[in-house]
Structure 1
Amino acid sequence: MDGAPGAVVQTLPSPAASQPGIQGFSYADLADLTLTAQVVTGVTVVKAERLKGELAPNLAAGRARFLIEAQTGMLLRGADGLAGTISYIADVPLDARGKAPKLKKARFILLANRVPGRPQEVRLTSPYSQLDWTQTTESTLRAILTEATAPSAPPLVTGIGNAFHVPGAIPGESESQIFLTTSDNRPISLSILRRPGEQPQWAVALGEIVDDSARAPAKGTLLWYRLACFLPPRLPEKAVAALSAGNAEAVRADYRHVLQQLGPCGRTIER
């Protein structure tokens, strides 16, 4: 294969920064990688040729660059299919002795983009985009893509629009609504209900109407990821500019509660 696609080289996250997950990656890491890739496919390595010197420019220390030929298997994402055999370049870590791993017959899941005009080549989207195949890895990526392609898939959150707060009829009772902005202008809102002597209850509505079916998202789901990883850390002042000082502070407190309940995004690799 002439003119092999170049590999993207970045600094790997340190083990201390990694969260529990597949190969040390969190759900957010896997969602980041999966949702931006044109192709998600399982492969078995047929041939791996190590590239050195001028054939491996900008190679990070402690890594080896390989030109890999692989047979494709299951295809989780990839419009128009994929060739039975593909080639790509991957940078892989050396072991503690400085030795490169044996890649022939190894099974991986690739997160890649197509190379225009070269149907038998793909380009990995990042240094982290060759994942060891396991059933857990496949199931997690399959679940992410299934949610992302469903008609009810949550939109990408881009920010916060405005917010409202209504005190209840008795002290300690109130409801806040926070309307989010999205990449495709589909409505999504947060509602936070407080009652005396009870923990605040919050929910997400994916539509114009907030009804009893709205719930807080479970962690490790696409909706949770869209919120935990894309909501701003603080409520912007413009969202509460039209409210009284007391109502504005109540909405800020409710927003902090939502962020606390969502928990950290857990992203360990730079986007």
Structure 2
Amino acid sequence: MTDKQSVNVGVEAPRYTYADLADLALAAPIVLSGTVTKTVRLKGEQAAGTPPGMARLYVTVTVTTLIRGANGIPSTINYLVDLPLDSRGRPPKLKKAPVILLAAGAQGADLRLVAPDAQLPWAAETEATLRAILKEATAPGAPPPITGVGNAFHVPGNLPGESETQIFLRTADNRPVSLSVLRRPGTAPGWSVALSEIVDEAAAPPPPASLLWYRLACGLPRALPYGALAGADPAQAEMIRADYRVVIRQLGPCERNRQRD
């Protein structure tokens, strides 16, 4: 097989967004690409719990590339997956299909997928995006998951229309992460994020489809929690809310197409 993209996995796959792929990749200790060599449809007790309209398959894959996996894996692996039946009640034909698998663990040659939909049709763009996510996630100083918003404060500047708002975020590893929103007369508000206690006013917002963008766009609440305004007077509180909306609006929505567990 010379063109992996020419083979269809037999299932119409949803178009996964960057956030969808990040959700899967960051939860998966094992990520690989390979080619399906065999499928067996399980029935009876072996298929107990299979959702209606689905078939449970025991799939064998020859591994092409181990994208992530600290301890390595066998060259041939197996796993269970539930896939939808076609209009004639038949499971999809997967033999020779190139796939990407995201697994939560392995027992010998048997993998356990990280989610029911963690078998993906192979595509160069999908593999490249997963590799980029994992590279950023394992780099020193990688942005941590955002778990909430701490406190915030607003300071007027010396000139009319000049001000600064700082919003401190809660993180999974308790690292200091903060947002800074600067207003200057005659210019649109600008903002930046600091992954340490040092704030760089010249820093730019994170680009879309980056791990830092994902952490913020998918981790921040859409509206500022009331508790973040403790100690602020009404005028300051309104400016903090407005500046927080600047950040949320420029980040854009955390779009997801897959149904998360």
Assess same fold via TM > 0.5: yes
Of 171, 180, 187, 2:160 maps to 171
Is contact 1:205–1:215 with CA below 8 Å preserved after alignment? no
2:22 pairs with 1:61: no
Kindly report which structure 2 residues correspond to 1:1-271, keeping only aligned pairs within 5 A, or say none.
23-115=14-106, 118-268=107-257, 269-271=259-261
Identity of aligned residues (%): 56
Structure 1 regions of 5+ residues with no counterpart? 1-14, 16-21
Q: Answer with 141-150 or 243-252: which moved more.
A: 243-252
Aligned residue for 1:229, secondary structure, equals: helix
**CA distance in structure 2 between the aligned counterparts of 1:119 and 1:53, rounded to whole angstroms:** 25
The one-letter code matched in structure 2 to 1:58 is: G
Give the superposed CA RMSD: 1.6
Distance of 2:34 and 2:44 partners within structure 1: 27
Gaps of 5+ in 2: 1-11
List per-residue Cα deviations over 1:211-246 (Å, max 9, x = no partner). 144220111110011001111222122222112211
Q: Which residue of 1 aligns with 2:3?
A: none
Contact 2:192–2:201 under 8 Å retained in 1: no
Residue matched to 2:8? none
Whether the 8 Å CA contact 1:39–1:76 is kept in 2: the answer is yes
- CA-CA distance at 1:53 after TM superposition: 2.8
* 1:76 alignment partner AA: I
Contact 2:170 2:176 in 1 (8 A): yes
Aligned length: 249
Task: Give the 3-state SS of the residue equivalent to 2:61 in structure 1.
Answer: strand
Confirm or deny: 8 A CA contact 1:163 1:178 kept in the other structure: yes
Shift of 1:172: 1.5
Task: Kindly state the Cα deviation for residue 97 of structure 1 after the two structures are TM-superposed.
Answer: 4.0
